[in-house]
Amino acid sequence: MAAQNGKDLLIKLDLTGGGQFETVAGLRATRLSFNAESVEVTSLESEGGWRELLSGAGVRSATISGSGVFKDTATDARARDIFFQGITPDFQVIVPDFGIVQGPFQVTALEYAGSHDGEATYEMALASAGALSFTAL
């Protein structure tokens, strides 16, 4: 795979609850992380004393984070509403030449900052809140 442009890693949110996904505007940096907890089942009978893990067990999760500047009132307002209402709408993350990850996420952090001689910025963090789907590109 060739090098990819970072601006093509997109976070999209469902603006209406009806599958109308819009890119969260003004993002300058984005990150998607996948995690899986392991379940250890090592016992005295484990061959050679090697640790054994239970296949298919444990909790899988994903986190999304992004930071940027305010550019679009619709996506800004929707992210704020999602946080204050505590709801878990569908989000999409487009990873160039990899695929689309989609599913429910909860906004777990929403931070705003600004200085007297610069632009207002924001950061947001999301945690998966259910099963995610993956579609290869």
Taking the model in full, what pTM does it have? 0.85
Give the chain's end-to-end CA distance (angstroms, integer). 13
List of E strands, the chain: 10-14, 21-23, 27-36, 60-69, 90-95, 99-113, 121-128, 133-136
Contact 103, 91 (CB under 8 A): yes
CATH C-level class of 6-136: mainly beta
Residue 67, pLDDT score: 93
The residue ranges of every structural domain in the chain are: 6-136
Segment 59-99, tens digit of pLDDT: 999 999 999 987 778 888 888 999 999 999 999 999 998 99
Torsion of CA 73, 79, 80, 84, to 10 degrees: 160
